Chain A
Amino acid sequence: LNNIHMKKTWDINKLLYMDNIDPIDALSRWRKEEDELVSPSYNEDGGAGNRKIRDGEDSDSDEEENFFVKKDTFKNPNQSDKVTTGNNTPANILHEKWLVDKSALSRLKTRFFVSAKQRV
């Protein structure tokens, strides 16, 4: 009975290779769970070992059951296989993130060596 209240957690390593699950479903399920499980104190505590499970998470058990039942290999095996060349994000969204939201840029600044010319 105690197990009823335990949340099923998806292991990405198993989820990726489950042939009976559409790749999009597998990823959306994994991403959704990541968002739910990662606590607000994720950054402060540092590292992924400090995940916390929220209360009352057994409410979506029906959904999980359907997820297991699904047997279709892919929703549409013939979807477009367009190769992304890194230009898919619309410029207006990027503007908001990189030019308006200064915190995003300052976070990224740690990734760059600042040139001597810029330092002056």
Chain B
Amino acid sequence: MSSRSKIITFQGHQNFRNRLVLATLSGKTIKIEKIRSDDLNPGLKDYEISLLRLIENVTNGSVIEISYTGTTVVYRPGLIIGGDFVHQCPDGVACGYFIEPMLCLAPFSKNKFSILFKGLTASKEHVGVDFIKWGLLPVMEKFGVREVELHTLKRGSPPLGGGEVHLIVNSLIPQPVTIHVLDYQKISAIRGVAYCTRVSPSVANRLVDSARSVLKATGCEVNITTDVCRGEIAGKSPGFGLTLFTESKKIPFRYVVEDIGTGGETPENVGERVALNLLEQIDTSGCLGRNQLELAFLYMVIGKEDIGRLLINKAQFDEQLVLFLRDIKAVFGTQFYFKQSDEFQNSMYATVKGTGFTNASKKIA
């Protein structure tokens, strides 16, 4: 069989990050074509190029070929080596866009990851730093990746940013553990962080008050802290935002919702909206929120050759998730099986057999 026939081909720019991650973990060459081919500005965007550069930095031996028009990319992955880097995120794209793929790759690296991301720490389009800290790191912990830290050194609000986030992944594991989460956990508390940069400190308190007024009806303990950034740690632009998350006693999984204020919005509006969104997410989620599912599914796929099970909600199926499942099948050749739950309404068990992935870079003790 020629090497050309082994290339897995995708079309379009959707799921771009996940495709690169899947290719890197599997070691298979992928070709992504027709990237915005019918757009007025065809080809890769600057933030996608930036992600490719970052992946090139954290791997050894990767080859990335981009066509003249930028509408086709061929990616031959190398070994994940990690290391110590500074990554300047392009304007308008939050650090979360780059941190999420790193969380998928870092535990399977040769060396520890220590990357300083500079740019926006929150945006409307991409996940913010607080979401990753409270939403994704606990998911990794459940899969056996424990020593992961995310420090917000400076907050950077849109449009100018100026934030700094330090990602440290010290936990290097051969493969994730298999999980079985088949039950909803009772929520013991709702916690959160209200922050503001370069605006009056009272804005953070107004966010907290409005969110608390909505969440009071749940009868649950609500504890929201404020983070008022001043001077150098406040970035370049004024802004404010709120992140709310739930806590359960048995399982570290949390439902996380976040939002930032835009021009003309009052802190009361934002606080109320985020609180209502949290209630909505609790109602329409399985044991994990929608944004955490992809990381969990990926870890389940590359886990041991054992069946992992996860309770999800039917409302969580969307186009992105279907594309991701298809991409997993294309790269790893394994597919999820969804079974209706007899116990819970609108819920399904997502089951998959791990591919038995082994971290090729890890030294044998």
Query: Smallest Cβ distance from A114 to chain B, in angstroms?
Result: 4
Would A95 and B276 be within 8 Å (CB), given that A19-B326, A47-B342, A86-B290 are in contact? yes
Cα-based distance from A16 to B297 in the complex (angstroms): 15
Does B170 count as interface, using CB distance less than 8 angstroms? no
* A87-B124 CB under 8 A given contacts A48-B340, A114-B219, A115-B219: yes
Q: A48-B341, A78-B38, A115-B221 are in contact. Are A24 and B319 (CB under 8 A)?
A: yes
User: In angstroms, how far is the closest chain B Cβ from the Cβ of A43?
Assistant: 7
Considering the chains assembled together, what is the distance between the CA atoms of A23 and B289 in angstroms? 20
Min CB–CB distance B187 → chain A (angstroms): 5
Q: How far is the CA of A108 from the CA of B110 in the complex (A)?
A: 45
Whether B73 is near chain A, meaning CB under 8 Å from some CB there, is no
Q: How far is the CB of B277 from chain A (nearest CB, A)?
A: 5
Known: A91-B272, A98-B280. A83 touches B126 (CB 8 A): yes
Restricting to A38-60, which residues have a CB under 8 Å from any CB of B? Answer: 42-43, 47-49
Is there contact, CB below 8 Å, between B338 and A94?
no
A77 to B273: give the CA distance in the assembly, Å.
Answer: 32
Alpha-carbon distance A27/B314, docked complex (angstroms): 10
Complex contact B188–A113 (CB within 8 A): yes
Interface size on A, residues (CB 8 A): 50
Taking CB atoms, residues of chain B closer than 8 Å to A27 are: 317-319, 322
A85 and B124 form a contact (CB under 8 A): yes
Q: How far is the CB of A82 from chain B (nearest CB, A)?
A: 5
Shortest Cβ distance from B279 into A: residue: A98
B276 touches A112 (CB 8 A): no
Total contacting residues, chain B, CB less than 8 A: 69
Given the known A-B contacts A85-B128, A112-B187, are A78 and B12 also in contact in the complex, defined by CB atoms under 8 Å?
yes
Which residue of B has the minimal Cβ distance to A107?
Answer: B283
Which residues 289-328 of B have a CB within 8 angstroms of A? 289-291, 314, 317-320, 322-323, 325-326
A3 at the interface (CB under 8 A from B): no
Q: How far is the CA of A99 from the CA of B342 in the complex (A)?
A: 30
Q: Which chain A residues lie closer than 8 Å to B52 at the CB level?
A: none
Q: Does A118 contact B (CB under 8 A)?
A: yes
Decide yes or no: A94 and B186 within 8 Å by CB, A81-B15, A108-B218, A112-B219 being known contacts.
no
Known: A17-B329, A95-B276. A118 touches B219 (CB 8 A): yes
Q: Give 16 pairs: A residue, B residue, CB < 8 Å, sorted on A.
A: A13-B335, A47-B342, A47-B343, A78-B14, A79-B319, A81-B15, A83-B127, A85-B128, A87-B124, A89-B280, A98-B276, A109-B218, A112-B186, A112-B218, A112-B220, A115-B189
Query: Nearest 9 CB-CB pairs, A to B?
Result: A77-B12, A23-B322, A94-B276, A86-B257, A48-B340, A87-B259, A115-B221, A112-B220, A114-B219
Seen from chain B, the residues whose Cβ lies within 8 Å of a Cβ on chain A are 11-16, 34-39, 97, 124-128, 131, 184, 186-189, 214, 217-221, 256-259, 269, 272-274, 276-283, 289-291, 314, 317-320, 322-323, 325-326, 329, 335-338, 340-343, 345, 348
Q: A78-B13, A98-B280 are in contact. List 4 more A-B contacts (CB 8 A).
A: A85-B124, A98-B214, A104-B283, A112-B219
